């Protein structure tokens, strides 16, 4: 599709063309892991390009349970190093992005027929606590049957033996988390091009020498010289290169996971719930943005990764399991506002049971056939910084630059916060409408102070165009002008965040698209086309 904008698109076109000058490393995929890799590598002084075929964070990183967690369930597999690594990263994230990542208390009910006995769960809790010895979150506590029923009266009392509470963390908007990592990488010097797809790899004498990329908005293609290529394409890793040209064994064995989004319901818990399904899988009921997120499923997936959506079986499974543990809920499909589905990037292993597939990340070095090409297999949302550090260490060694990882001691761009109260005061002092303060602080962190000043500069930017959300004209202008949003879906789904509201952002799509059109110089035909594309995009979320 033609991109008509003269100012921003010309700038983007120039940036695309200047990639011909070459890089130390080109990263494919702008999910949490590719972005974490770009951030680490740029901070070590490497010349970095990241290309993302869609928008920042538009892949699996948008469709998770939004938990920043140690992974209690990995203890069942005795994967202590993975749990310790995840708990360390959880603590780093709680401190580095306190506006986006916050403590969440979980309740685990113990039932007579659980696969794990109450004793095993107790031992698991103690181990989780010991492995997070450096945490700032609360410790676990155990409850008798009577106490847990007092605390959560909606719980099914049949065969209930007791329970416990423990803490993990939650990221409300993993989309904004991804954007902030991208911003951090850009500030460190990385070039990040969205709507740009990696389409081929050029290899001579077994060594990578360039990558071919295509601008999905203009159709233009260029060859970008580079020493290293990192395939960070999540569940797409096997689809990046043309098979007839680059032949590698299958690496991804991703499983599909669906979450349902609902309003509060009878018996809804005040804390999050973590419980065992009939088939001994972990299920969660999570308070999220004044609603509940329930799920998820875990099913081997083959199909179109870009349009994976919930099936009737998944609705039935999730609703049945929720009604089982919270019998007053009596949830049906009619209660579901929308559903979202993602495919976990997991290592492929023929014939393995889904629950047995490791959740650890692995870096594959393809030096035997394509020296200079690396692929990330797996990798959670929680551990993106560690993935970046691992790649940074490889790059430092390989390219002979003795620079240590810097991200561990850094914060994300909006995260330099002494206290949320002080941040809210700073936003308040800009004179912004009182009703916006809390949301801007939570959504943007310290960036919210700059954004509030921007909104207050012009009265027309203060106009509210989505009453329920409190969205202002200024926020849309900010997203398009400063936050690398080029499509309507980038703006609605991953910057201003109305795309996760009950109406999926449709209530304000007209004014939002008009602001985008003005700044991005879209004609009326293009504006209407963007609206259609967005409506098409959200079809996967609608309850069918
Ligand atoms: C149901 C579910 C629940 C989960 N819950 C949690 C959780 O609670 N906590 C947690 O820590 N983790 C969780 N995860 C895992 C986590 O979400 C993912 O592992 C993580 O987001 C993967 O990030 P990524 O960057 O590797 O991949 P992605 O986010 O998928 O990013 C890969 C990117 O590569 C791009 N791409 C693909 N091909 C190309 C190409 N040719 N050129 C350019 N770009 C390309 C894609 O568009 C995509 O944006 C969950 C996952 C699922 C599915």
- State the pLDDT at residue 7: 63
In order of start, what are the domains of the chain with their CATH numbers? 7-60+175-251+358-409 (3.50.50.60), 91-171 (3.30.9.10), 255-344 (3.30.9.10), 420-541 (1.10.8)
The answer to whether the CB of 296 is under 6 A from ligand 1 is yes
- Tell me if 28 CB under 6 Å of ligand 1: yes
pLDDT of 507 above 60: yes
Q: Is the dihedral of CA 392, 135, 130, 279 positive or negative?
A: negative
φ/ψ of 60, rounded to 5, equals: -55, -30
Identify which has the larger pLDDT, 208 or 76: 208
Q: End-to-end CA distance of the chain, in Å?
A: 30
The phi, psi pair for 179, rounded to 5°, reads: -60, -40
Q: What is the rounded average pLDDT of the residues 252-259? A: 94
What is the ipTM score, two decimals?
0.99
CA distance 269 to 154: 7
Q: Is the previous residue joined to 208 through a cis bond, with omega within 30 degrees of 0?
A: no
Phi-psi region at 98: left, alpha or beta (left = phi > 0; alpha = psi -120 to 50): alpha
How many CB atoms sit inside 10 A of residue 108's CB?
A: 26
Q: What is the pLDDT of residues 35-66, one digit of tens each?
A: 999 999 999 999 999 999 999 999 999 999 99
Q: Tell me which H or E stretch contains 369.
A: none
- The dihedral through the CA atoms of 472, 540, 3, 61 has a sign that is positive
The pLDDT of residue 5: 44
Query: Alpha-carbon distance 306 to 236, whole Å?
Result: 9
Ligand 1 mean position, distance from CA 449 (Å): 30
Average pLDDT taken over every residue of the chain: 94
- Does 163 score more than 90 pLDDT? yes
168 strand-pairing partners: 104
| CA–CA gap between residue 22 and residue 17 (Å, rounded) | 11
Integer angstrom CA distances of residue 144 from 9, 59, 327: 62, 42, 20
What is the chain's Cα-based Rg?
Answer: 23
Take residue 292 and report the two structure tokens written for it.
């509940």
Q: Is the CB of 254 under 6 A from ligand 1?
A: no
User: Which is higher by pLDDT, 158 or 119?
Assistant: 158
Distance CA 471, CA 479 (A): 12
Helical residues (DSSP H) of 236-374, grouped into ranges: 312-325
pLDDT at position 360: 80
Please give the sequence-ordered ranges of beta strands (E in DSSP) within 430-525, or none if there are none. 464-466, 471-472
The two tokens of residue 299 are 């099913």
- The secondary structure of residue 235, as a DSSP letter, is G
pLDDT, mean of residues 117-140:
86
pLDDT tens track for 373-421: 999 999 999 999 999 999 999 999 999 999 999 999 999 999 999 999 9
Q: Check pocket membership of 96 for ligand 1, CB cut-off 6 A.
A: no
445 pocket-lining for ligand 1 (C-beta < 6 Å): no
Distance 173 CA to ligand 1 centre (A): 14
Convert the pLDDT of each residue in 327-363 to its tens digit: 999 999 999 999 999 999 999 887 767 666 777 889 9
The span from the CA of 279 to the CA of 296, in Å, is 13
Q: Which tens digits make up the pLDDT trace of 276-306?
A: 999 989 999 999 999 999 999 999 898 999 9
Q: From ligand 1's centre to the CA of 67, what distance in Å? A: 14
């Amino acid at each position: 599709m033609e991109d008509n904008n003269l100012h921003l698109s010309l700038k983007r076109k120039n940036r695309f063309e200047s990639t011909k000058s070459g890089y130390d490393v080109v990263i494919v995929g702008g999910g949490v892991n590719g972005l974490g890799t770009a951030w680490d590598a740029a901070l070590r002084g490497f010349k970095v390009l990241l290309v993302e075929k869609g928008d920042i964070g538009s892949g699996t990183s948008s469709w998770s349970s939004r938990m920043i967690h140690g992974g209690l369930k990995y203890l069942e597999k005795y994967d202590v190093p993975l749990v310790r690594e995840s708990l360390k990263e959880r603590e780093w994230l709680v401190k580095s992005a306190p506006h986006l990542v916050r403590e969440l208390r979980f309740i685990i009910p113990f039932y007579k027929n659980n696969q794990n006995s109450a004793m095993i769960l107790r031992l698991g809790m103690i181990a989780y606590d010991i492995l997070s010895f450096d945490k700032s979150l609360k410790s676990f506590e155990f409850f008798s049957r009577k106490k847990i029923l007092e605390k959560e009266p909606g719980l099914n009392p049949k065969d209930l033996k007791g329970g416990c509470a423990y803490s993990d963390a939650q990221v409300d908007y993993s989309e904004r988390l991804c954007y902030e990592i991208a911003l951090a990488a850009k500030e460190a010097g990385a070039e990040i091009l969205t709507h740009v797809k990696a389409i081929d790899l050029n290899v001579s004498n077994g060594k990578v020498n360039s990558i071919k990329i295509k601008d999905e908005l203009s159709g233009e293609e260029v060859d970008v010289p580079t020493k290293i290529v990192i395939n960070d394409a999540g569940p797409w890793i096997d689809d990046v290169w043309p098979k007839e040209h680059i032949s590698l064994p299958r690496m991804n064995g991703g499983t599909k996971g669906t979450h349902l989004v609902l309003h509060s319901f009878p018996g809804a818990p005040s804390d999050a719930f973590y419980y065992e399904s009939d088939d001994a899988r972990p299920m969660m009921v999570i308070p999220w943005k004044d609603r509940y997120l329930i799920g998820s499923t875990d099913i081997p997936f083959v199909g179109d990764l870009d349009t994976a959506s919930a099936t009737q079986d998944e609705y039935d499974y999730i609703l049945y399991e929720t009604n089982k543990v919270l019998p007053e809920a009596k949830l049906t499909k009619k209660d579901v506002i929308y559903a979202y589905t993602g495919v976990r990037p997991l290592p492929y292993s023929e014939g393995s049971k889904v629950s047995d597939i490791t959740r650890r990340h692995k870096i594959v070095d393809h030096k035997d056939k394509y020296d200079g090409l690396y692929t990330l297999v797996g990798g959670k949302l929680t551990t993106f910084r560690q993935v970046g550090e691992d790649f940074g260490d490889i790059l430092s060694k390989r390219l002979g630059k003795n620079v240590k990882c810097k991200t561990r001691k850094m914060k994300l761009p909006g995260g330099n916060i002494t206290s949320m109260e002080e941040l809210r005061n700073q936003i308040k002092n800009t004179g912004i409408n009182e009703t916006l303060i809390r949301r801007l602080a939570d959504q943007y962190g310290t960036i919210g102070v700059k954004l509030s000043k921007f909104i207050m500069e012009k009265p027309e930017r203060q106009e509210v165009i989505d009453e329920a959300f409190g969205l202002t004209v200024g926020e849309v202008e900010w997203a398009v002008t400063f936050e690398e949003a080029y499509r309507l879906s980038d703006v609605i789904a991953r910057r201003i965040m109305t795309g996760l509201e009950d109406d999926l952002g449709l209530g304000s799509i007209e004014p939002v698209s008009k602001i985008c059109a003005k700044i991005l110089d879209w004609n009326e035909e293009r504006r209407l086309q963007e609206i259609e594309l967005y409506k098409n995009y959200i079809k996967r979320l609608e309850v069918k």
